[in-house]
Amino acid sequence: MVVLVVAALFAAQHFWSGRPQSVAAPEVVAHGVAGTAQEGPAEPDPPPGATEPAATAPAPDARIVVDVSGKVRRPGVLRLPAGARVEDALAAAGGAERGTDLTGINRARVLTDGEHVVVGVPGMVSAAGGPATGSPAAAGAPAAPISLNSSTAEQLETLPGVGPVLAQHIVDHRTRVGGFRSVDELREVNGIGDRRFADLRNRVRP
């Protein structure tokens, strides 16, 4: 009986150890975690208060428009690259006429869009409101009126709105009538209307 009991226990143990067992499947690594592990180290955040440098250089194709008049070889409206200086405007206008005093001209000054550069005409004020280039007048001093009877056509072109054609009309009119007796006679010049006369009346004298 003892032998049979021992044999039965041995058989039961052998049957129990040989039974099929379930095996758990391996865990799948998440795609997001794996992708994060493959990426390089994150860039450090900028320190507090740090700002990105702002671009200060003008665009390569930026242009400014300036009016150059007075004693230059080719006065007129010029289109120059942004950041151009007075020296560049003089060169584009053909340079100053022979004998023109350029002592008071700051040829290294940077030009601004819409500026009126007057060369070699004392007392003129630039369109920007400051003393014109080459003018010895102090800042804020009023411009001396230009004489309609003694000014040359080039000097008349320094007036606002007066180009080579209108300046020649003024010269032809004073030659035809024998000179201006008053500023109001400027209305009789071909090409000068009420609006332009209003701009010129305080800038000229007979």
The predicted model gives 127-150 an average pLDDT of 58
The tally of CA atoms less than 13 A away on the side-chain side of residue 14 is: 6
Is the pLDDT score of 132 beyond 70? no
pLDDT at 141: 43
The tally of CA atoms less than 13 A away on the side-chain side of residue 193 is: 1
Locate tokens 């804020």: which residue? Answer: 140
Is the pLDDT score of 26 beyond 90? no
C-alpha R_g of the chain: 44
Distance of CA 155 to the CA centre of its chain: 30
Q: Judge whether 85 and 66 are in contact, CB under 8 Å.
A: no
Predicted confidence (pLDDT) per residue in 82-112, tens digit: 999 999 999 999 988 888 888 778 888 999 8
pLDDT at 80: 94
Q: How far apart are CA 59 and CA 47, in angstroms?
A: 30
pLDDT at 60: 59
Distance of CA 85 to the CA centre of its chain: 13
pLDDT at 7: 79
Q: How far apart are CA 179 and CA 167, in angstroms?
A: 14
Closest among 58, 95, 75, 34 to 158, alpha carbons compared? 75
Q: pTM for this one?
A: 0.37
Predicted confidence (pLDDT) per residue in 45-68, tens digit: 655 555 554 445 556 578 999 889
pLDDT at 124: 54
Predicted confidence (pLDDT) per residue in 164-206, tens digit: 999 999 999 998 988 888 889 988 998 898 888 888 988 898 8
